[in-house]
A and B are shown apart, each in its own frame.
Chain A
Amino acid sequence: MQGTQTTTPSERSTEFAPVEGGPETTSAEALLVAAYLLMWAILLTFVLLSWLRQKRLDRRVAELERALGTARS
């Protein structure tokens, strides 16, 4: 059986040669899952950045309110 074939020390590889035009072996399922995960990650990062920007705005509004309050008093 090919799966249980063993090599003797004299048969082992002594060099690696590139194979050109071989069959595509990357798993399509893994690529599909990776694509969907990355797309959702980009989208969620975008929403997170918007939320952080909104928080910065809130902080600046609070500072402005404080400054105006100090000016009035």
Chain B
Amino acid sequence: MRDRAFELLLAVTAAVFFYLIGHIFLATPPAQLAAGGIAQKILYFHAPAGYAMYLSGVACGVASALYLLRPSDRRDAWARAGAECAVAFGLMMLVSGPLWGKKAWGVYWTWDPRLTTTLLSVLIYVAIVVLRAFSGGGDAERRFAAALGVLGTVNLPIIHYSVRLWGGNHPTVITGQGGGLKHPAMVQSLVLGFVAMTLLAILLLVLRARVAFASSRLVRLEEAAAARETLDS
């Protein structure tokens, strides 16, 4: 992505976030007490953060699969960036959900199918990030991380459909049949939340992929410089 496009995307994302926060707190009414009352406003960041985790996970999975087919530094960089962003957005979701759950369900955590599968998925992405951070960037490590990246992505549809397949406490308000938000401002906040998090996910993915790709190029340059130094001496 060109620098100018990146800067424009950053400005648009910031503007959408400013508007979204104002809209959530000034224009959107709280929900019924059984859904957590004012704590239900966590939804407008919580669900989009989950969606951003899916996006990052898909980026990681696709880049990982392509890397396994034909390895390249660029594909590896995107796989790594996808895993890192999936961890960040996954943590945002896993931290905000229990705080809402405390008010709506009376407990911070329950081993509900969606919560459990989400935790598993985030742990897979954490494993990729830890593996890449501590085991170096050798071909075997990259391939192993790519295989984990594909596995993490396979788990994503299971998270999404777990509520319908196995039930549990997690709400099913947002469905393909329209959704159960009973006020136009609630719908607007959620749609804006999805737009804002999508833009943020794209920004962070591009940023991290660029850093990861620059890091790979630098390693290759260092190796070439070391080899030349050995030849010269």
Task: Report if A and B associate in a common complex.
Answer: yes
Residues of A bordering B, CB below 8 Å: 24, 26, 28-29, 31-32, 34-36, 38-39, 42-43, 46, 50, 53-54, 57, 60-61, 64, 67-68, 71
Give the number of residues in B that approach A within 8 Å (Cβ atoms): 34
Q: Given A35-B96, A57-B211, A57-B214, answer yes or no on A64-B37 (Cβ-Cβ < 8 Å).
A: no
Q: How far is the CB of A52 from chain B (nearest CB, A)?
A: 10
**Contact between chains at B42 and A35 (CB < 8 Å):** yes
**Contact between chains at A42 and B91 (CB < 8 Å):** yes
Determine the main DSSP class of B at the interface with A. helix
**Contact between chains at B39 and A46 (CB < 8 Å):** no
Besides A32-B41, A57-B214, A57-B218, 12 other A-B contacts (C-beta < 8 A): A24-B102, A31-B36, A32-B99, A35-B42, A35-B45, A35-B99, A39-B45, A43-B200, A46-B84, A46-B88, A50-B204, A64-B221
Residues of chain A contacted by B99 (CB below 8 angstroms): 31-32, 34-35, 38
**Contact between chains at A31 and B211 (CB < 8 Å):** no
Q: B139 contacts the other chain (Cβ, under 8 Å)?
A: no
Residues of chain B contacted by A29 (CB below 8 angstroms): 38
Q: How far is the CB of A27 from chain B (nearest CB, A)?
A: 9
**Contact between chains at B95 and A39 (CB < 8 Å):** yes
| Beta-carbon contacts under 8 Å, B90-132 to A | 91-92, 95-96, 99-100, 102-103, 106
Residues of chain A contacted by B214 (CB below 8 angstroms): 57
Residues of chain B contacted by A53 (CB below 8 angstroms): 211, 215
